[in-house]
Structure 1
């Protein structure tokens, strides 16, 4: 079990986050201690907020008076509400918050059920609850609870599994903090090789990234801005400069991450390609059917269309492996225009053509070794296909004076030169 503790001065924000999930049916209240309960036995946001605020003395010198914690059992654990309640009680008592007012929420908005606890860091006299070595003591408590209740040890849980990421909600305020927390989690978990692939990931969380180019005193600078969006991808808030969030999400950091990702994803491309090929051989007639069958295989699909409804970009995301792959990265036969053509005429399924795709197991095994030796014309087509897709989905942004055909040709020459160099070394 992993505990995530935070201190804040925004009591309304901490309670609002949890009560909003209750309203949506994504959470329920397990336990409330020392808090007002209405005549129907319910706890409302207004009552709990007023009750807690009344317990904070006006002359309190502590700024961050709110204790907010999430307790996260292993994803494979299936604990009863009674067990979770008892764990929450023992955790709060042992940590020193047993006599404080607190409320416990059970979240079920993701597959891994977990609980959130909101309490106060000061008592009725305004004295701060002892928080020395709080995280160290918290770890000792969760370890003891794991042993007592025979839980799966937290040592078997990775950071990727445990990090909870929520969509950006501009109505909650603190937009920059929301964006920063979400970005740091996404950049830690996912591998991607273009801004288009990163955008496909971020779209799930109502965020988009854009590249900006400026010039100052004759020197050109590249940067990134992050834009909160709605569920349809429309901008709903002012863009936030990466520099206002931190260096870890800036242009250089993201570029370095993309370069490193190119090496780490190589071993995972074949498995993703095989899943897509397997599903496409079942001839799903609609995008919705393809989406559903891919999810059964552990892949999410993000499709981008122009105003005419034409598919210009398609990205496959494996959340477990933490990778995002544009269709063209799987191979020429998986580019966006192939899927656009198929859905325009489902009767003509190119994935059933044995001459193009062959036996799935043989074809996929050979593709990784044969691809560098394909003809120059075909390799050039692949480069141009990938460039067109990246340009359309925003991962390749150029100035008005750039010639994208020339850029594609230069990329082709550089790649071919590397192949020739490797051949000479052999």
Structure 2
């Protein structure tokens, strides 16, 4: 189960988005806590909004007073309303919102049923509910709930998305939607520190990204465009500007992703370096043989060549963990020119030189320590999930096309409801 938490100051927008779904028959109210109910047993947008607004002090120092969360079970999970209600109760209690007013909506407008919860981040005295390490604690809570109710682990959602995301095929039409779907999966699941590493990942989906720089009236602008390709990497369609897809795939968001990835990959570098070294010490004679042996190590390699056939870049990708590392990031001994020299003369294998690359036993001892460190980071701090949730405009990055439409619609409704609220106040 994946929880997506957001903090906002727009209570009308958060409630309006969900009540609009109810009005259209695309959602229903599962549960409420500390909220007014009419004599007919109904809850209305106006009553719930008035109830919650009355609890927010006029001079409240907390700007983003609204808690909005969606709980997303695995797509293959089929839960009853009673189960979802109980899960919502236990989740809010464990996160510290058990005594808060809140309302739970079940959305059924897409195949993957999920729930949304709207609450307040301040208590009756105007004090902020503790949100320290909120997303980390949320992950621990959902993990506990998965075990308690024997749910499909949320980690399998990402694995399934990676496996099921198809290559871009311009003959199928809807090119922008195909590109958006692939990007959502990649930017959510993978870590990378350069556009070159990102391109190595995108190549598996017949897609490439290019940085564009322009100047207008003396001001410099930077952006990204995404271009569909064929299996050989040749462009087969017009570029699609990132702004036509959404902020979550734009220049700033990708730069933020790369910056945050630099810390996350540190424990992984020595792990992948060791696996590459072990593979190269088997002395593969051809690039294809190298690819096959790396696959046995759980790695994929993308080799880049210039027109003369010289290797000028290599990127090693672990699809399961979700990381891409250029050879140079592994160390000088794994730079492109080393692989170019090796494949020019496979009889001479520098990777067998223990003076340069160390002995296998020492390397193995080091990798065991690093793997233990990485496991500690994953278990104790949920590092990967923290990075995903803290991404710029993270709400955009989901695993299905319908989530993207939902988020766009949510933004629209928030703007509309904000205007309506202002009008009512006047």
- TM (norm. structure 2) is 0.52
2:308 aligned partner: 308
2:160 aligned partner: 162
Name the SS of the counterpart of 1:234 in structure 2. coil
2: CA distance, partners of 1:360 / 1:264: 26
Q: After TM superposition, give the deviation of residue 161 of structure 1 in Å.
A: 1.4
1:208-229, CA deviations, whole angstroms, 9 ceiling, x for partnerless residues? 0000000011011111000000
- 8 Å Cα contact 2:285-2:343 kept in structure 1: yes
Choose 352-361 or 230-239, whichever is displaced more: 352-361
2: CA distance, partners of 1:308 / 1:245: 36
Name the SS of the counterpart of 1:181 in structure 2. helix
Residue among 139, 151, 154 paired with 1:153: 151
Name the SS of the counterpart of 1:256 in structure 2. helix
1:282 aligned partner: 282
Name the SS of the counterpart of 2:153 in structure 1. helix
2: CA distance, partners of 1:304 / 1:136: 40
Give the gaps of 5 or more residues in structure 1. 3-70, 75-86, 92-130, 141-150, 370-426
1:174 aligned partner: 174
1:25-76, CA deviations, whole angstroms, 9 ceiling, x for partnerless residues? xxxxxxxxxxxxxxxxxxxxxxxxxxxxxxxxxxxxxxxxxxxxxx9669xx
Name the SS of the counterpart of 2:324 in structure 1. strand
1: CA distance, partners of 2:167 / 2:366: 40
- 1:258 aligns to 2:258 (yes or no): yes
Name the SS of the counterpart of 2:209 in structure 1. strand
1:62-94, CA deviations, whole angstroms, 9 ceiling, x for partnerless residues? xxxxxxxxx9669xxxxxxxxxxxx9xxx9xxx
Residue among 108, 114, 130 paired with 1:133: 108
1:147 aligned partner: none
Q: After TM superposition, give the deviation of residue 157 of structure 1 in Å.
A: 4.2
Where relative contact order (Cα < 8 A, 6+ residues apart) is larger, the structure is 2
Equivalent residues, number: 237
2:352 aligned partner: 352
- 8 Å Cα contact 1:72-1:162 kept in structure 2: no
1: CA distance, partners of 2:313 / 2:365: 26
- 8 Å Cα contact 1:201-1:324 kept in structure 2: yes
1:214 aligned partner: 214
Name the SS of the counterpart of 1:274 in structure 2. helix
- 8 Å Cα contact 1:190-1:324 kept in structure 2: yes
2: CA distance, partners of 1:139 / 1:272: 37
Q: After TM superposition, give the deviation of residue 152 of structure 1 in Å.
A: 7.3
Give the gaps of 5 or more residues in structure 2. 3-73, 81-105, 116-148, 370-426
Alpha-carbon distance change, 171 to 215 in structure 1, aligned in 2, over 3 angstroms: same
- 8 Å Cα contact 2:75-2:112 kept in structure 1: no
1:225 aligned partner: 225
2: CA distance, partners of 1:312 / 1:205: 22
Alpha-carbon distance change, 282 to 222 in structure 1, aligned in 2, over 3 angstroms: same
Name the SS of the counterpart of 2:159 in structure 1. helix
1:241 aligned partner: 241
1:318 aligned partner: 318
1:378-421, CA deviations, whole angstroms, 9 ceiling, x for partnerless residues? xxxxxxxxxxxxxxxxxxxxxxxxxxxxxxxxxxxxxxxxxxxx
Name the SS of the counterpart of 1:348 in structure 2. coil
Q: After TM superposition, give the deviation of residue 160 of structure 1 in Å.
A: 1.2
- TM (norm. structure 1) is 0.52
Q: After TM superposition, give the deviation of residue 358 of structure 1 in Å.
A: 1.4
2: CA distance, partners of 1:324 / 1:195: 11
- 8 Å Cα contact 2:107-2:114 kept in structure 1: no
2: CA distance, partners of 1:138 / 1:177: 22
2: CA distance, partners of 1:136 / 1:234: 35
Name the SS of the counterpart of 1:284 in structure 2. coil
1:312-355, CA deviations, whole angstroms, 9 ceiling, x for partnerless residues? 01000000110000000000000111000000000110000111
- 8 Å Cα contact 1:270-1:364 kept in structure 2: no
Q: After TM superposition, give the deviation of residue 135 of structure 1 in Å.
A: 5.4
2: CA distance, partners of 1:184 / 1:136: 18
Q: CA RMSD, aligned part only?
A: 3.0
1:341 aligned partner: 341
- 8 Å Cα contact 1:342-1:349 kept in structure 2: yes
Alpha-carbon distance change, 362 to 215 in structure 1, aligned in 2, over 3 angstroms: same
2: CA distance, partners of 1:161 / 1:337: 34
1:164-189, CA deviations, whole angstroms, 9 ceiling, x for partnerless residues? 21100101111001101110110000
2: CA distance, partners of 1:321 / 1:186: 12
